[in-house]
Homo-oligomer: A and B are copies of this chain.
Amino acid sequence: MKNRDKALARLKETLETNGLRMTQQRIEVYLAVAASGCHPCVSEVHEMVRENLPTVSLDTVYRTLWKLSELGLVAPVSSSGDRVRFDAYMRRHHHFVCARCGAVYDFDSPSLDEIRIPEEAWSLGCVWNSHMELRGICLGCCNEGGGTEEGHAEG
């Protein structure tokens, strides 16, 4: 099953289960984020979606992304100082956030993937998924102008 088909099936199932409608706009927005190799911001998603749906409004993209987020189909990505960006988490991965430029890097880690959700968390609500968030200075910024000296111990 191709990723696109998998994504569509997931979208359909989730919308149905929640009594929501499957619209072309929702399809295109979701596919845009799911197919994206990075973390697109709203206007980037808007541009992508407009290729197939030229009349789609920016507000629709906002509304759709937040609705997909509520449904767990996409999630806003931690970044530093940048407008909100989204990730469809089509595959398990973790994030490294640069404190300086705000870039968010994906990385894989089989060892981190093995970690169970601890009991303590379940008292807070229904947990859908987890990933590890790292924070520091990316290589680009390190090489650029002397990395910022970290003033914060293990967080």
Contact = CB atoms under 8 A, between A and B. Distances in A.
A144 to B, nearest CB: 11
Nearest to A17: B149
A120 to B, nearest CB: 5
7 contacts: A69-B80, A70-B80, A72-B99, A75-B99, A77-B78, A125-B138, A126-B147
Query: 10 shortest A-B CB distances, which residue pairs?
Result: A14-B151, A129-B155, A89-B155, A125-B138, A72-B152, A127-B136, A128-B136, A109-B118, A17-B149, A78-B78
Interface string A23-61: 000000000000000000000000000000000000000
Interface of A: 10-11, 13-15, 17-18, 66, 69-73, 75-81, 89, 92, 94, 96, 98-100, 105, 107-109, 111-112, 115, 117-118, 120-121, 123-142, 147-155
Contacts of A138: 124-125
Given A81-B66, A105-B124, A107-B120, A155 B130 contact: yes
Nearest to A18: B149
Contacts of A99: 69-72, 75, 128
A47 B136 CA distance: 29
A46 B139 CA distance: 33
